[in-house]
Structure 1
Amino acid sequence: MRNILHRDLGLHSYFNCWIPHNLTDDQRHKRVHFATEFLENLNGASDYLLAPIAGGGVLKAALSQLRPTEATPHPSVKPPGVKVSTKLYVEYGLKSMSSTNLPPNWVQRTSRSHNRDYFFNTVTRESQWDPPTEADVESTTIHNSGDGAPTQVRASHLLVKHRDSRRPSSWKEANITRSREEALALLDGYRQQIVSASGGDGQVEQREFSRLASQHSDCSSAKAGGDLGSFGRGQMQKPFEDAAFGLAVGRMSGPVVTESGVHIILRTA
């Protein structure tokens, strides 16, 4: 049987056993949700290949919404094999599987560790247990829509580098050897500390963010508590820019993957 997902880090056997060809549609949906949550944590790692297999109609249908510019034939396989990046798979492929009418950029996912659904913003990388409210949407819209869209934002970040970062060294460590998965785990721990110190209204405790950034960020901005100052479009790497401009003031992103490493971002103005 051909593997449904191939990548160059040796995960093909993992997915081969999780999404076999003989599952029912319901079972396959559940496995796809698991794979998506896993891929989310590896977003930006490398490209994935969706290969044609027996019973793969569910995934083909999910990817059928991709525009032609977002899916191109993989040179090593014959059509209908489709090469699609993790980001495109997660942000576009699973939209057709959502059973809830959600605001733009929000999707519903299932947390295996907590065995419950949660809601994820594919632009800002925010996640929350409760469905996004009108206030959540309006808050982002006010800051990011129409003629009132900002030309600049101000943000702080906490960066954790890994061995595959563009420059795997920092003011703390001359040679960074941790894996991307280890970097994501560290970042998640810092994010949970910040969330725990924050109120229940979604506003992030900036002092805790600054404290952790000053101690743990692999960016030189750690000296300023992670503060990057104000910046406009085109000044940051695209995933970072999209997340920062997509956030409302006082809100924190989920993990954002760039060539520099993995970040959490707090928009401050």
Structure 2
Amino acid sequence: MRVYGQAQALTDFPVPLIPGPLYLRVSTEDQDLQRQEAIIGHARASGYYVAAVYREKASGARSDRPELLRMIEDLQPGEVVIAEKIDRISRLPLVEAERLVDAIKAKGARLAVPGIVDLSELAEASSGVAKVVLQGVQDMLLRVALQIARDDFEDRRERQRQGIDLAKSAGRYRGRKPNAKVHEQIIALKGGGCSIAETARLAGVSVSQVKRVWAQNQAKVKIEYLGEGAPKTASEYMGDY
């Protein structure tokens, strides 16, 4: 979701600041509001004006995050995308992550992430070979950070898989419980006439999750009304949504 009222007007500052949106991936509301305020405060201290805040729950390993895509669509030339960590922007494979960064650059904007040296202003003030070298170093640093974020994601996923395998072998694994509250919200939004994309944006989930939950709900409803002749799996509906 896009959150307004989180940043002061440009006229409140004695010196010009660089405008840009703040992108957050969130979990619990109270904790995330505290994080948001802390990041905004740090951004102001670093010379940025937070023009808008985009918040969503979708994983950084997904490329179809509604708020991230909407943020890129809203970007204006000269803006700086502010992220708490590089993995908040992407845990995608390097090729896909670079496409995401290229989409930001194509809008005339750039990415600011703590822990990654920002040489962009120095590069802009340089010329000739020096400018090319500085831009190359900046791109290399970003690629390394994106690859580290992906490696960390894959390491975590592998450890999780190993833990699940051990739990299964010990007869203790019962599977991941679905988030009933999110599922109910998806069904209410989609059933109320929202499109799949709009439902995903409002619920803060991916488009694929909306399709899956809605298909499962439709299968359940049809089974209840038609009885034995109805399809028994939600996958039979996936081609229609």
TM-score when normalising by structure 2: 0.29
Q: Larger helix proportion, structure 1 or 2?
A: 2
Structure ID, larger Rg: 2
